[in-house]
């Protein structure tokens, strides 16, 4: 008995006079053409959903890479460098006051100073001040509409101006009287004490807070986007599987109903759809891994190394402060120990002499055995990530510079305790270039800088590689979708035409 067509109300007619009922009849599963059309539509829907999810995943990956490599990431690194620049500035001031070359700091070439020559520390101070200001402007951009962070940026800039004034006053007071190497007049020492207190208790903590806030933004973006990419990869696999099952079902139905072998075009569409799902899922997994490398092996270590460099410079400046202001030497020694413990932590140590002794023993053991990690802090965390003998050798070399600097600091403290301030100051600085820190400190700082540079390259190279791989999908995804859809239609249409060209049998409706 032929199936009876149910007529819909006239009000439901589609534009152009076509009835909804006529459109629905195309996909009635009670007829062979309807089943073929329904399965074809299911495949096309799966293909559309698959391409949409791949596109979303690609967009998320592109956004995350841009955040880490071009937008928030570099801005946060720049704000992290603010603390480093500020510590550099304070170190230059201390070195000049230590050597008594205030005149070289104060002179204004081409002005009232005539042909005087500024000393190198003043040039370097000005450069680092510009670096700090530039980074603060970047921090303001990152803050956008966050009033708290904007106020912090403004407070750092204002504090930097106050610090300049304090430094200028200390230099002027120091230049008014001839003072011994490593000894500062009381009035100049008081101004310097106020300047360095402003730096260590106000500017550096605020700069650090800006970096932490920015790093939290990057970390949040990273986690959200990476989680989205991994979720979309799972959906790609599910939708790809659904599309393949629908295509296989369609081919089986056509083969049984029309007594034909598998259509080459539909087989090609199946292979293409499977390939798109596999390649798309693999691309998303690769991008998620690239994002992890850029963040965890590039961005995070760069921030940590920048903090360590800043701590190390502040550590060196603490020794300067103790020599220039001996009345506060005990307090500076305590802050020196605290910063040393942050860099390389040794449990149970209560004073610097014990720290020096334990440092020698534990670093000697670690140099012989990479598993003998008897220390914590920054270097402890880094030692636990060492995976190869080459990495161990690099870290041992870096630690040897740190140990050499601490050995020299031990000698400086002993000379200062023996009231040999002049010799202590000369031992603390470079014997050949007195405006520079001790060579052991510079070697340690340069090695940290080189290591940071390598991690920056990891970030840049990984982001660039990820973006290059994603660029292909701009045209590959729509082309793949069109090719698969064309193969599907080309494979189905001959069967539909063949069937519709044959008179119905057994009362079955063509549709």
CA distance 121 to 244: 70
Is the overall model pTM greater than 0.75, yes or no? yes
What angle is formed at CA 270 by the lines to CA 268 and CA 271, rounded to 5 degrees? 65
Please check whether residue 106 is in contact with residue 175, taking contact to mean a CB–CB distance below 8 angstroms: yes
Please check whether residue 230 is in contact with residue 288, taking contact to mean a CB–CB distance below 8 angstroms: yes
Q: What is the pLDDT of residue 38?
A: 81
User: Is residue 492 included in any domain, yes or no?
Assistant: yes
User: Is residue 413 included in any domain, yes or no?
Assistant: no
Alpha helices in 70-185 (DSSP H): 72-99, 102-106, 120-143, 147-175
What DSSP string runs through 25-63?
A: HTT-TTSHHHHHHHHHHHHHHHHHHHHHHHHHHHHHHHH
User: Is residue 269 included in any domain, yes or no?
Assistant: yes
User: Is residue 394 included in any domain, yes or no?
Assistant: no
User: Is residue 136 included in any domain, yes or no?
Assistant: yes
CA distance 302 to 77: 7
User: Is residue 51 included in any domain, yes or no?
Assistant: yes
Helix, strand, coil fractions of the chain, as percent rounded to 5: 80, 0, 20
Half-sphere exposure of 24 (CA within 13 A, CB side): 10
Place of tokens 């050949």: 432
CA distance 148 to 141: 13
In the chain, the number of structural domains is 1
Joined tokens for residue 213: 């806030």
CA distance 156 to 179: 33
User: Is residue 271 included in any domain, yes or no?
Assistant: yes
Half-sphere exposure of 60 (CA within 13 A, CB side): 24
Phi and psi angles of residue 19, each rounded to the nearest 5 degrees, phi first: -85, 150
Domain span holding position 269: 28-343+429-500
CA distance 41 to 494: 16
User: Is residue 414 included in any domain, yes or no?
Assistant: no
Q: What is the pLDDT along the chain (511 residues), one digit of tens a residue?
A: 444 444 544 444 445 445 544 544 544 555 777 777 788 888 889 889 999 999 999 998 998 888 888 877 887 888 788 888 898 898 889 888 888 888 888 887 665 555 677 788 888 899 989 988 888 887 777 666 778 888 888 888 899 999 999 999 999 988 887 777 777 888 888 898 899 899 988 998 888 888 888 888 888 888 888 888 989 899 999 999 998 898 888 888 777 776 666 678 888 988 999 999 999 999 999 999 999 999 988 889 998 898 899 889 989 989 988 888 888 889 999 999 999 999 999 999 989 999 999 999 999 999 999 999 999 999 999 999 888 999 899 999 999 999 999 999 999 999 999 888 889 888 988 877 767 888 999 999 999 989 889 999 999 999 999 999 999 999 999 999 999 989 888 888 776 676 665 544 444 444 3
Q: What is the pLDDT of residue 143?
A: 66
- Among residues 363, 354, 361, 365, which one has the least CA distance to residue 410? 354
First vs last Cα of the chain: how many Å apart? Answer: 15
Alpha helices in 259-326 (DSSP H): 264-292, 300-324
Q: Is 17 left (phi over 0), alpha (psi -120 to 50) or beta?
A: left
Joined tokens for residue 312: 């190390």
Burial code (b: 16+ CB inside 10 Å, e: under 16) for 263-302 equals: bebbbbbbebbeebbebbbebbeebbebbebbbeebbbbb
CA distance 284 to 268: 24
CA distance 496 to 511: 11
Please check whether residue 214 is in contact with residue 72, taking contact to mean a CB–CB distance below 8 angstroms: yes
- Among residues 468, 63, 463, 469, which one has the least CA distance to residue 295? 463
């Amino acid at each position: 008995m032929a199936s009876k067509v149910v007529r819909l109300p006239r009000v439901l007619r589609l534009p152009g006079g076509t009835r909804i009922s006529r459109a629905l009849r195309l996909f009635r599963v009670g007829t062979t053409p309807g089943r073929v059309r329904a399965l074809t539509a299911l495949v096309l829907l799966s293909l559309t959903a698959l391409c949409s999810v791949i596109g979303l995943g690609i967009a998320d990956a592109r956004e995350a890479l841009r955040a880490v490599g071009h937008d928030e990431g570099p801005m946060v690194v720049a704000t992290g460098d603010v603390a480093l620049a500020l510590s550099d500035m304070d170190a230059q001031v201390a070195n000049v006051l230590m050597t008594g070359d205030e005149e070289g700091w104060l002179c204004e070439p081409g002005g009232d100073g005539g042909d005087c020559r500024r000393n190198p520390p003043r040039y370097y101070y000005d450069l680092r001040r510009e670096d700090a200001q530039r980074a603060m402007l970047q921090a303001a951009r990152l803050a956008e509409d966050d009033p708290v962070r904007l106020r912090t940026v403004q407070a750092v800039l204002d504090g930097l101006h106050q610090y300049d004034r304090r430094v200028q006053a200390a230099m002027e007071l120091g230049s008014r009287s001839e003072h011994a190497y490593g000894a500062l007049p009381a009035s100049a020492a008081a101004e310097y004490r106020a300047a360095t207190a402003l730096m260590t208790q106000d500017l550096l903590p605020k700069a650090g807070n800006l970096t932490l806030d920015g790093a939290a933004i990057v970390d949040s973006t990273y986690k959200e986007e990476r989680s989205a990419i991994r979720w979309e990869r799972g959906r790609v696999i599910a939708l790809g599987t659904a599309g393949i099952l629908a295509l296989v079902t369609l081919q089986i139905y056509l083969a049984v109903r029309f007594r034909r072998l598998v259509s080459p075009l539909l087989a090609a569409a199946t292979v293409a759809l499977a390939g798109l799902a596999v390649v798309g899922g693999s691309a998303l997994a690769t991008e998620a891994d690239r994002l992890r490398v850029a963040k965890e092996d590039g961005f995070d270590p760069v921030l940590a190394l920048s903090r360590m460099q800043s701590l190390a410079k502040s550590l060196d400046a603490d020794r300067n402060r103790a020599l220039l202001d001996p009345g506060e030497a005990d307090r500076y020694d305590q802050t020196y120990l605290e910063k040393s413990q942050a860099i390389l932590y040794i449990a149970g140590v209560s004073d610097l002499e014990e720290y020096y002794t334990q440092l020698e023993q534990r670093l000697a053991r670690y140099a012989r055995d990479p598993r003998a990690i008897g220390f914590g802090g920054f270097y402890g965390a880094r030692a636990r990530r060492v995976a190869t003998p080459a990495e161990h050798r690099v870290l041992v070399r870096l630690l040897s510079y740190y140990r050499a600097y601490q050995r020299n600091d031990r000698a400086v403290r002993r000379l200062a305790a023996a009231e040999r301030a002049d010799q202590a100051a000369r031992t603390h600085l470079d014997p050949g270039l007195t405006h520079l820190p001790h060579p052991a400190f510079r070697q340690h700082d340069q090695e940290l800088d080189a290591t940071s540079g390598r991690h920056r390259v990891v970030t840049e190279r990984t982001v660039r590689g990820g973006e290059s791989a994603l660029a292909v999908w701009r045209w590959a995804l729509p082309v793949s979708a069109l090719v698969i859809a064309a193969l599907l239609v080309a494979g189905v249409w001959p069967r539909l035409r063949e069937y519709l060209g044959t008179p119905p049998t057994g009362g079955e409706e063509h549709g």
